[in-house]
Amino acid sequence: MHLEPGLVEQQLLERVEADLSRTAQNRGVRHVAAETVIAIVRPVTCDRRDHRLCGTVARYVACHRRGMLTRSTRVAFCLALLAATSVYGQSTVVELNDAGWKMIERGDGAKAARLFNEALAAKADDPVLLFGAGTAAHLQGRPTEALARLQRAVDVDPRLVPASRLLGEIAYKEGDVRLAIATYEKALKYAPTDLQLSNRLAAWRSDADVHRNFEERRYDRFKVMFQGHADEALAARATEVLNAAFWRIGHVLGAFPADAVVVMLYTEQQFRDITRAPEWAGGIFDGRIRIPAAGAPGSGALFERVLVHELTHAMIASIAPRGIPAWLHEGLAQHFEGDDVPTARRRVQAAGAPLPLRGLEHSFARLSAGEAQVAYDESLLAVNVIMERPAFGWIQLLNALAQSDRTEAMLESFGFSYAELEHQFRR
């Protein structure tokens, strides 16, 4: 049912709204969702639940236009409408909240943001809605907005531990370790038995202790942390390499994530002690890029390749925080760092026993040095097959994988089977 746009004049609408506003003030109605009232009084399209209310408004407007209403009738009507819109508004907020979280589950941050923002217009300081809006902003790669929304959510309701959990993770990723630690310390007061929180907090405290004397160099979205004057030139070079690689990688993937990228330059011993990475690992990304920089000045090309490799992981993680198989992560990282495809193919063929891609969907950390080399080479060969397709939509694939739990089936919907990709291992 519609209230046709030509039903009433603007002046009449303003008089009706004035009646509502005046009645609300005179009767001590403190919280009125103005947008909801105006949406009902102004010409709107109504669904089935609102037919009776819209019909009542239409009759009121028609009588008001003809001067048929006494002041007492107008007041009575306005009180009734305010009560109705209050119930209507509460129902709408609940529905918007539910719909917003469904969009979050689907990974659609843009739609979720619109729904939560609409709900917040009616209920501005609701902590669950703020949590939803912060989560949506995080999915959209808008960390500053996400931090603000989530911080407000936990300020309003400190017991909302899931919001604290996400706030701490984003703060840490953005390089604000102090906020991350403070957030988890407060959250543990309301969830003292949460092992994930306590373990993460312990790791961050240890991290903060190690980095207490580190210096930092910032450039655009990059923050490189290093220890001592001797590594200052290395940090400067790192920011140059990262910035150039960021635009090159983003051009191919079809996205330029806004998230901050924090890089830690360690000695070899610090790297091993902090990351517990396998001996064969030359760097890791765990929300931060961590690289053993010892000897880097004498092997600058290797240092730069590792930087680009780990930056690729950071960018993919920002685009698609979940659902990307390890072989795709590693294959793309090797592609952008410049690994040689023919050399990788020769090593795979020489190994004689290819590893199925299905078994390489999870972290390579469990593999021996020999197995890891085969896994990395196969990942590069598989990604090279996809790269050879002209104008392939990488951003569409990454987003689709992030929203699916069926990697192989999703790849097939883009025209690639594991059998086809693995054929490269035997050529």
Domains of the chain (ranges; CATH) run 1-124 (no CATH), 125-210 (1.25.40.10), 213-311 (3.40.30.160), 320-427 (no CATH)
Is-contact 360 326, C-beta < 8 A? yes
What is the predicted pLDDT for the residue at 247? Answer: 97
SS3 readout for 306-344: HHHHHHHHHHHHHHCCCCCCHHHHHHHHHHHHCCCHHHH
CA distance 180 to 186: 10
CA distance 314 to 253: 13
What is the predicted pLDDT for the residue at 168? Answer: 95
What is the predicted pLDDT for the residue at 134? Answer: 96
Is-contact 289 309, C-beta < 8 A? no
What is the predicted pLDDT for the residue at 11? Answer: 43
Task: Collapse the DSSP code of 136 into the 3-class scheme (helix H, G, I; strand E, B; otherwise coil) and give the result.
Answer: helix
What is the predicted pLDDT for the residue at 277? Answer: 86
Is-contact 156 127, C-beta < 8 A? yes
What is the predicted pLDDT for the residue at 2? Answer: 30
CA distance 169 to 286: 11
Condensed to tens digits (0 to 9), the pLDDT of residues 141-184 reads 788 899 999 999 999 999 999 999 999 999 988 888 899 999 99
What is the predicted pLDDT for the residue at 291? Answer: 92
Condensed to tens digits (0 to 9), the pLDDT of residues 213-242 reads 788 888 888 999 888 776 888 888 999 999
Query: In terms of DSSP bridges, do strands 261-266 and 215-219 run parallel, antiparallel, or are they unpaired?
Result: unpaired
Residue 226 burial (CB < 10 Å; 0-12/13-18/19+)?
buried
Sign of CA dihedral 369, 374, 375, 380: positive
What is the predicted pLDDT for the residue at 6? Answer: 36
Q: Provide CB contacts within 8 A for 397, sequence distance 6+.
A: 386, 410, 411, 414
Q: How many helices (H) and strands (E) does the chain have?
A: 19, 5
Task: Collapse the DSSP code of 218 into the 3-class scheme (helix H, G, I; strand E, B; otherwise coil) and give the result.
Answer: strand
Joined tokens for residue 4: 């046709």
Is-contact 69 63, C-beta < 8 A? yes
Q: Which residue, among 325, 326, 336, 348, has the nearest Cα to 410 in the 3D structure?
A: 325
**Tens of pLDDT, residue by residue, the chain (427 residues):** 233 333 333 444 455 555 545 555 554 443 333 333 444 444 333 343 444 445 555 555 555 555 655 666 555 555 555 555 544 445 588 888 999 999 998 878 889 999 999 899 888 889 999 999 999 998 887 888 999 999 999 999 999 999 999 999 999 888 888 999 999 999 999 999 999 999 999 989 988 887 777 888 888 889 998 887 768 888 889 999 999 999 999 999 999 998 889 999 988 888 888 888 888 888 999 889 999 885 454 467 889 999 999 999 999 999 998 899 999 999 999 999 999 999 999 999 898 888 999 999 999 988 999 999 999 999 999 999 999 999 899 999 999 998 888 899 999 999 999 999 998 777 6
- Could you tell me where the beta strands, DSSP code E, fall in 279-411? 284-285, 289-292
Alpha helices by DSSP H, 10-70: 10-26, 34-41, 51-65
Count the neighbouring beta carbons within 10 Å of the beta carbon of residue 364.
19
In DSSP terms, 265 is beta-bridged to 291
Count the neighbouring beta carbons within 10 Å of the beta carbon of residue 398.
20
Query: In terms of DSSP bridges, do strands 261-266 and 289-292 run parallel, antiparallel, or are they unpaired?
Result: parallel
What is the predicted pLDDT for the residue at 32? Answer: 37
Predicted TM-score of the model (pTM): 0.66
The residue with tokens 């000045």 is 297
Q: Which residue, among 106, 107, 132, 111, has the nearest Cα to 120 in the 3D structure?
A: 132
The radius of gyration computed from the CA coordinates of the chain, to the nearest angstrom, equals 28
